[in-house]
Amino acid sequence: MRPLGPFGVDIAAPAEMVFDVIAAPYLGRTPRAMGGKLKVLERGADVVLAEHYTPVHGGRLTATTLETVSFDRPRRVSFRLVRGPVPAITEEFTLTEHDGKTRLDYSGELGTDFGAVGQLWADQVAAAWQAAVRSSFKSIRAEAERRASAGMAE
């Protein structure tokens, strides 16, 4: 097992709004623009089974993972790998609100087998995985702050 993260971002928007930005493509209708990144196979009230598509090796290849995604409004979104490039991954987004602003934090664990060879593979997978999460955090922040400023103007 090796850690993923931790890292986070401060967002100038309430936690409910940030949570909605994260959860919307899973619990609601997945936007067409996300079709190349996400396909929800089963939806429940607070859990989904989803395929995620992540470019690797400079975009020449795409890693496909199957994950359960659980939602605990507005505090947490949890991911558990079902099928993917390694035997085990668990991840968590946590949201903490203070004075109308939200801290969005990421942490997780990645597990491999095959000893030293598995550790080398884990390092490669972890780097790509964390880069994808950082990219998602930038998008989440931008959209949540856009919604928050639009709401303030109304």
Give the least confident one: 21-35, 51-65, 82-96, 113-127: 51-65
Instruction: Indicate if the pLDDT at residue 28 is higher than 70.
Output: yes
pLDDT given for residue 85 in this prediction: 86
Q: Does 33 score more than 80 pLDDT?
A: yes
Question: Which residues touch 21 (CB under 8 Å, ≥6 apart)?
Answer: 140, 143, 144, 147
Q: Poorest-confidence range of 2-6, 81-85, 116-120?
A: 116-120
Closest CA to 99 of 9, 8, 12: 12
Q: Residue 91: helix, strand or coil by DSSP?
A: strand
124 falls in which pLDDT band (50, 70, 90)? confident
Residue 130 and residue 4 in contact, taking contact as beta carbons nearer than 8 Å: yes
> Is residue 87's pLDDT more than 90?
yes
Give yes or no for residue 115 having a pLDDT over 60: yes
Mean pLDDT taken over the chain: 92
Asked if residue 58 has pLDDT above 90, the reply is no
> Which of the pair, 84 or 107, is modelled with greater confidence?
107
Q: How many CB atoms within 10 Å of residue 26?
A: 19
CATH number for the domain running over 7-148: 3.30.530.20
Predicted confidence at residue 70, as pLDDT, reads 98
Summarize the confidence of residues 90-117 as an average pLDDT: 96
pLDDT over 90, % of the chain: 70
pLDDT of residue 154: 46
- pLDDT attached to residue 152: 62
